[in-house]
Structure 1
Amino acid sequence: MEQALNRTTAGTGEAPPVKILQFGEGNFLRAFVDWMIDILNEQTSFSGAIEVIQPIPHGRVDTLNQQEGLYHVLLEGIRKGKPHAERRLITSVKGGLNPYEDYKGYLQLAENPGLEFIVSNTTEAGIAFDNTDTSADTIPNSFPGKLTALLYHRFTHFQGAPSKAPVIVPCELIDRNGDKLKQYVLQYADLWDTDPAFHSWIKQHCIFCNTLVDRIVPGYPEEKADSIQKEMGYNDQLIVAGEYFHLWVIEGPSHIQKQLPFQEAGLNVLFVDDLTPYRTRKVRILNGLHTSMVPVGYLNGNRTVKQAVDDEVLGPFLEKELFEEIIPTLDLPEEELSDFAHDILDRFRNPFIKHELSAIALNSISKYKVRVLPSLLKYHELHDTLPDRLVFALAAMICFYRGEWEGDKMPLNDSEEVIAFIQKAWRKKDIRDTVQMVLGNKSFWGQDLNDIQGLTQKITASVMEIQQNGITSTLQKAELWG
């Protein structure tokens, strides 16, 4: 029988002093930031631990504390052209706190004189302003509100000392994430009528970095967890699997690189003056292809990323979408984009990772707007015609959000409002009316997509074909795959 995993059974000793507060205990941060800090502690003089803050009322902080911050990361992928697998016990996390149960204790975390960094990943919707957060007297609903309360407590406790202003490094996948987070913190400072000196402290001394993160993290390896635990000899409820590839691009002052010497540890972390080219490349190619793949693949009977890219019809469809419709819209050297795209396809074909399409279906409508629609619009602008495959992916998404396909329920994972709206549209008698209603929702797309010449007709035709003949036959008939 496997023994409990904790610092006594694992023989790890106590964690080093806390230097980092982390909003979020999800799979990604634990397999990305916490993994990197663990390596940093091992291979450099950094010597800092992470205290995790649970950003929502229900999460995994209790389990994390039961294991005294310990868990294993399993990395599998292609490294230097060869299959590579490794397992690492993560010791960089001291523990966690649920501010919904202990708000006072949460604020007291700000009193740590050794705190240097705050990192976060509260999903793409996490960096938002909630005007119902009218005070820091009780726990704010939003992540920016919680962060403002913490920073204000630190500002007050250390009497506005510039040296106690932390570096904030958000990992949410939104454009200019650091800038937006800073904007909302200042907005809360105004709303709460805080000391004007707090504004100056935030503006002049707190550093908000814009970042880009890249690692595929499927999460808990359900199918092989039992065998892994038997092999390790520990009952680890927080095992997290990911690919070996990783990239973290951080835009900020050069001195941060000295504080976080990732490159000394051989980690793929870039400190840059402008991350815009890296973000555009990643969001349009990797994330855009993921988002396109979900509805087309799922309706085609594929359930994982690898199945989709290996499919004899869908695989060529995705490659043509990537090389003929996405890459031509990007303002970067063609060779660099092509190399990156081939790397992405290799990562998607990773034989070690079972990356479920359902796991990346979260908020697919908002993801299409951010990740795919800009490529469609740019292609239309450049060529005065519509990109067939990007349009087809949108048609498949409308079918996907119907909620049922050939007797199977679709894994819809979106807000109740989004799902209800599209399913209401499907109750229209005419498919063209359904398409017009969805494309006309400006809250989805930021504009009325019916205004794009030919788009409504093209999507209507594709939706009808998909409904009648399925994905494979429709792609073959339209010659969108070969």
Structure 2
Amino acid sequence: MKQLNRQTANTTSSYPVKVLQFGEGNFLRGFVDWIIDILNEKANFNGSVKIIQPIERGIVHLLNQQDGLYHVLLNGIQSGKETQETRLITCVSGAINPYDDYSEFLKLAENPDLEFIISNTTEAGICFEEADTSMDTLPSSFPGKLAALLYHRFKHFNGAADKGLTMIPCELIEKNGAELLQTVLKFARHWGLSVEFTSWIRQSNIFCNTLVDRIVPGFPKDNIKEIQEELGFEDNLVVKAEPFHLWVIEAPRSVQQAFPTDKAGLQVKFAPDLTPYRSRKVRILNGAHTALVPVAYLHGLRTVREAVEDEQTGTFIREAIFQEIIPTLDLPAEELEQFANDVIERFQNPFIHHELISIALNSISKYKVRVLPSVLEYKKRKKALPERLLTSLAALILFYKGEENGEKIPLNDTAEVLHFFEEAWKNNDAAAVVDATLANTDFWDTDLTKVEGLANMVKGKVAQLQQEEKQEKIA
């Protein structure tokens, strides 16, 4: 089997480096670099990506061994049919580890063709490290590294206004671009850098808020040998992903013109405000996941696909999405329904084994963020309570009893949440547990017993679920 490199793959395409990418993980390679590769092919983007390893240990050595090449395998369901697609990614021109050579890292800022900084350094990556007291040595945090890089560019080009960059962070935090800007400015103040530099940061650079959406399971270790045989290459960086992709970027029109995804048929939306899209994703995709888990788990199901394809729980989650979540959102109905249909297909993906128990991590806080807003908005708009979403809340309270049909449920939440339910369920008084749970303002930031009719409905749903469990035991 051939080693994968540009000679064996017979690809000699070479483009100037337009993108610096902080992060070499599966998501960026299976999402961002896949998009840029298509931009080169279909929209004359004519740019390559230089990858920067954001932490000391990583895989840039493997990327360089393969000349930046690797394959993305897309497996899933589209328009009701199973689909598989393989793409050799050629847009990555190489990777560096700044911990090995700080000066080489800073020299990247001198590139006149550079236009974009893209990152995914985890939710904890956009942070300020007070211990990074100067730029004399490599800062430990991503924003610190970025601040040092931007300062070097500012000095090298004498503060030229046209040499500013566009930052497109993909970290999963709200207003990630605004947060990154503020953290970079904090480093500038921390290091005593000039007012001229901070003015250049604000006036000549663009920090975009973004929303990303694609499930990327990553390296298919279970059948990699079989995949490599099919590819004909010993590719040690294969990335597996679902076909669905969505990238919403809050940016001025100039960014859209420089990053012409509209010419490549990609699901990348440029919007003046991504808030409605964030609400759509959190409420429909994440909210459906969270609402489904306790209901399906208590019915003896263990994966998302099983749950969606089960007649009872599949009907439950479809009705919850289309009848109770979508009516609380403000985007056009056809957009919401299309997104919801895509979500259902994604849940049914036979190539992704998504365990319910893994989604159940920190379910109380997830219900608060992902589902409760739909409950309260439904009550506000419809003057009624959403039965299915409250069935989910009832199932969640039973789920945190920690037992299902005599088997222990491996609960995974904060110590405070687990202790609360352990104490609440000691007397096995379901109605009392419901009241205590709903009244817990540490969980919900509000007393849900004050919402008219909510406590009574949840108690009724708990009793119904308990009765169903008894009947299953008898059967």
1:198 Cα deviation (Å)? 1.8
CA–CA separation in structure 2 for the residues paired with 1:137 and 1:457: 63
Matched, 1:424 2:453: no
Structure 1 equivalent of residue 249 of structure 2: 250
Structure 2 equivalent of residue 272 of structure 1: 271
CA–CA separation in structure 1 for the residues paired with 2:369 and 2:133: 30
Does the residue aligned with 1:10 lie in a helix, a strand or coil? coil
For the Cα contact (< 8 Å) 2:434–2:458, is it kept in 1?
no
For the Cα contact (< 8 Å) 2:400–2:421, is it kept in 1?
no
Matched, 1:326 2:321: no
Q: Max radius of gyration: which structure?
A: 2
Between 1:465-474 and 1:125-134, the stretch displaced more is 465-474
For the Cα contact (< 8 Å) 1:248–1:269, is it kept in 2?
yes
| Structure-2 change in CA distance of 1:82 and 1:73 (3 Å) | same
CA–CA separation in structure 2 for the residues paired with 1:384 and 1:136: 58
Matches within 5 A, 1:286-301: 286-301=285-300
For the Cα contact (< 8 Å) 2:75–2:84, is it kept in 1?
yes
Does the residue aligned with 1:7 lie in a helix, a strand or coil? coil
| Structure-2 change in CA distance of 1:451 and 1:473 (3 Å) | farther
CA–CA separation in structure 1 for the residues paired with 2:114 and 2:19: 6
CA–CA separation in structure 1 for the residues paired with 2:26 and 2:68: 14
Matched, 1:45 2:40: no
For the Cα contact (< 8 Å) 1:5–1:67, is it kept in 2?
yes
| Structure-2 change in CA distance of 1:468 and 1:81 (3 Å) | closer
For the Cα contact (< 8 Å) 1:218–1:354, is it kept in 2?
no
Does the residue aligned with 2:167 lie in a helix, a strand or coil? strand
Matched, 1:189 2:184: no
Matched, 1:167 2:155: no
Structure 1 equivalent of residue 227 of structure 2: 228
Structure 1 equivalent of residue 208 of structure 2: 209
1:9 Cα deviation (Å)? 2.9
| Structure-2 change in CA distance of 1:248 and 1:307 (3 Å) | same
Percent identity over paired residues? 55
For the Cα contact (< 8 Å) 1:299–1:471, is it kept in 2?
no
Q: AA paired with 1:181? A: L
Does the residue aligned with 1:119 lie in a helix, a strand or coil? strand
Structure 1 unmatched runs, 5+: 413-417, 475-482
Structure 1 equivalent of residue 64 of structure 2: 65
CA–CA separation in structure 1 for the residues paired with 2:50 and 2:233: 23
Residues 265-293 of structure 1: per-residue CA shift (max 9 Å, x gap): 22222223333333322221122212333
1:379 Cα deviation (Å)? 2.4
1:318 Cα deviation (Å)? 0.8
1:239 Cα deviation (Å)? 1.7
Residues 283-314 of structure 1: per-residue CA shift (max 9 Å, x gap): 21122212333444445443432222111221
For the Cα contact (< 8 Å) 2:72–2:89, is it kept in 1?
yes
Does the residue aligned with 1:220 lie in a helix, a strand or coil? coil
| Structure-2 change in CA distance of 1:80 and 1:381 (3 Å) | closer
Q: AA paired with 2:43? A: T
CA RMSD of aligned residues (A): 3.6
Structure 1 equivalent of residue 110 of structure 2: 111
Structure 2 equivalent of residue 415 of structure 1: none
For the Cα contact (< 8 Å) 1:425–1:434, is it kept in 2?
no
1:373 Cα deviation (Å)? 2.8
1:381 Cα deviation (Å)? 3.2
CA–CA separation in structure 1 for the residues paired with 2:471 and 2:2: 49
CA–CA separation in structure 2 for the residues paired with 1:472 and 1:234: 55
Q: AA paired with 2:420? A: A
CA–CA separation in structure 2 for the residues paired with 1:467 and 1:132: 54
Number of residue pairs aligned between Structure 1 and Structure 2: 467
CA–CA separation in structure 2 for the residues paired with 1:250 and 1:472: 50
CA–CA separation in structure 1 for the residues paired with 2:402 and 2:116: 42
Matched, 1:10 2:5: no
1:129 Cα deviation (Å)? 4.6
CA–CA separation in structure 2 for the residues paired with 1:141 and 1:323: 46
| Structure-2 change in CA distance of 1:142 and 1:465 (3 Å) | farther
Does the residue aligned with 1:248 lie in a helix, a strand or coil? strand
TM-score, normalised relative to structure 1: 0.82
For the Cα contact (< 8 Å) 1:75–1:87, is it kept in 2?
yes
1:455 Cα deviation (Å)? 5.8
1:111 Cα deviation (Å)? 3.0
CA–CA separation in structure 2 for the residues paired with 1:362 and 1:135: 39
For the Cα contact (< 8 Å) 2:434–2:455, is it kept in 1?
no
| Structure-2 change in CA distance of 1:217 and 1:20 (3 Å) | same
Structure 2 equivalent of residue 144 of structure 1: 143
Structure 2 equivalent of residue 30 of structure 1: 29
| Structure-2 change in CA distance of 1:133 and 1:83 (3 Å) | same
Structure 2 equivalent of residue 84 of structure 1: 83
Q: AA paired with 2:230? A: E
